[in-house]
């Protein structure tokens, strides 16, 4: 618009001209596409993480269920073995009680024989106590019963020797004479019962793997005298003994740790003291108690039964009476034996 001599001029030349079209912002479009891609990737990642977490939770749940099933099976197995062990334990207890009754009926004019009989009675009573105490442990009760079954067999063999000795010396009293046949019958019945339960005991022992602790059995403990040649001879008189020897077997145990093991022997005198060459000879029990020992021996245990003997060289002359040899390994008493020196 211009002013010319008072006249207003309006330029309308561009009135009919079409406006230029608006050009889209290409940069903005690229940025929006990138945002969408990032969002899609995030959504995909979140979905994958959710799937993985769900899968892991399922695996954990499956493991928990499997663990619960195994624990239930183990509890059922322990209960089954414990029930079987109770039946066997009742038979072992009855056998021990029968032997104790037979010993009560034995009499002898020989003082040493009576002392030996009393020692066997004490040993039987100790086994009965051990059997009763073991009822509180369902895991190892069956293996304890199996071990005591073997010790009962040894005791029965010793009883037969006593019966033969007393009979040969003609010192048995009227009660023993009248009941001798009954005693032999009872022993035969006990042998039959042993044979019947031997198979069951073997299977049961395999299932419980005899626990994780070693056991010692088959004891032969005696006084011996060393000859000038270096050989040894059995000596049943205290004044003649130069050594005490205890021979026994370590039982097979599939789950016990293998390798070198130190086995300790404690010889307890009639007065209740422990024979030892030094007050420094001590062992530590599982409960932390420090015990004096007589002698020790290292054995390479490979989970199989192994026989060994431990010798203790005497430093003083022994007194006559009843002695006890206790065997320890890894802080646990794994067996004991009683013997008599005249």
Could you report the per-residue pLDDT of 53-95, keeping only the tens digit for each? Answer: 888 888 888 888 888 877 776 666 666 556 666 677 788 888 8
Q: Is the pLDDT reported for residue 251 higher than 90?
A: yes
d(CA 327, CA 315): 21
Which pLDDT belongs to residue 285?
94
Show the domains of the chain with their CATH numbers.
Answer: 82-208 (no CATH), 212-342 (2.60.40.10)
Which pLDDT belongs to residue 209?
43
% of the chain with per-residue pLDDT over 70: 76
DSSP state of 251: P
Query: Does pTM surpass 0.85?
Result: no
Which pLDDT belongs to residue 199?
66
Residue-averaged pLDDT of the chain? 80
Q: Comparing 171 with 135, which gets the higher pLDDT?
A: 135
Residues 6 or more apart in contact with residue 255 via CB below 8 angstroms: 209, 210, 211, 212
pLDDT (average), residues 23-45: 80
CB 100 within 8 A of CB 129: no
Q: Comparing 226 with 174, which gets the higher pLDDT?
A: 226
Q: Comparing 49 with 229, which gets the higher pLDDT?
A: 49
Which pLDDT belongs to residue 227?
85
pLDDT (average), residues 111-140: 80
- What is the maximum alpha-carbon separation in the chain? 175
CB 168 within 8 A of CB 110: no
Which pLDDT belongs to residue 280?
94
CB 131 within 8 A of CB 145: yes
d(CA 265, CA 69): 44
CB 146 within 8 A of CB 217: no
Q: Which two tokens stand for residue 169?
A: 């010396």
Which pLDDT belongs to residue 143?
76
Q: Is the pLDDT reported for residue 139 higher than 50?
A: yes
> If residue 265 lies in a helix (H) or strand (E), which one and from where to where?
strand 259-268
d(CA 9, CA 13): 12
Q: Is the pLDDT reported for residue 226 higher than 80?
A: yes
Which residues lie across from 310 on neighbouring strands? 246
Q: Which two tokens stand for residue 313?
A: 């060289």
Could you report the per-residue pLDDT of 270-321, keeping only the tens digit for each? Answer: 999 999 999 999 999 999 999 999 999 999 999 999 999 999 999 889 999 9
DSSP character string of 184-248: HHHHHHHHHHHHHHHHHHHHHHHHHTT-SS--EEEEEEEEEEE-TTS-EEE--SGGG-SEEEEEE
């Amino acid at each position: 618009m211009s002013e010319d001599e008072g006249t207003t001029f309006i330029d309308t030349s561009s009135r009919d001209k079409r406006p230029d079209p608006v050009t889209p912002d290409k940069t903005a479009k690229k940025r929006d596409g990138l945002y969408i891609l990032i969002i899609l990737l995030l959504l995909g990642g979140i979905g994958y993480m959710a799937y993985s977490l769900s899968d892991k939770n399922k695996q954990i749940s499956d493991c928990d269920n499997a663990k619960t099933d195994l624990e239930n099976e183990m509890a059922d197995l322990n209960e089954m073995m414990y029930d079987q062990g109770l039946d066997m334990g009742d038979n072992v207890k009855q056998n021990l009680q029968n032997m104790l009754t037979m010993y009560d009926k034995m009499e002898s004019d020989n003082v040493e024989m009576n002392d030996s009989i009393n020692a066997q009675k004490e040993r039987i009573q100790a086994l009965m106590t051990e059997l009763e105490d073991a009822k509180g442990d369902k895991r190892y009760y069956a293996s304890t019963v199996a071990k005591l079954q073997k010790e009962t067999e040894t005791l029965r063999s010793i009883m037969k020797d006593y019966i033969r000795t007393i009979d040969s010396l003609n010192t048995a009293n009227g009660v023993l004479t009248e009941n001798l046949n009954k005693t032999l019958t009872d022993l035969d019945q006990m042998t039959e019962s042993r044979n019947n339960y031997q198979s069951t005991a073997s299977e049961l022992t395999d299932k419980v793997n005899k626990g994780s602790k070693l056991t010692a059995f088959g004891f032969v403990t005696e006084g011996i005298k060393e000859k000038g040649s270096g050989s040894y001879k059995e000596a049943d008189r205290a004044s003649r003994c130069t050594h005490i020897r205890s021979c026994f077997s370590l039982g097979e145990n599939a789950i016990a740790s293998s390798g070198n093991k130190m086995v300790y022997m404690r010889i307890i005198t009639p007065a209740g003291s422990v024979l030892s060459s030094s007050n420094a000879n001590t062992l530590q029990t599982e409960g932390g108690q420090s015990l004096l020992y007589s002698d020790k021996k290292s054995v390479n245990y490979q989970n199989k039964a192994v026989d060994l003997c431990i010798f203790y060289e005497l430093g003083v002359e022994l007194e006559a009476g009843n002695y006890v040899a206790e065997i320890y390994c890894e802080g646990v008493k794994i067996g004991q034996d009683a013997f008599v020196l005249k």
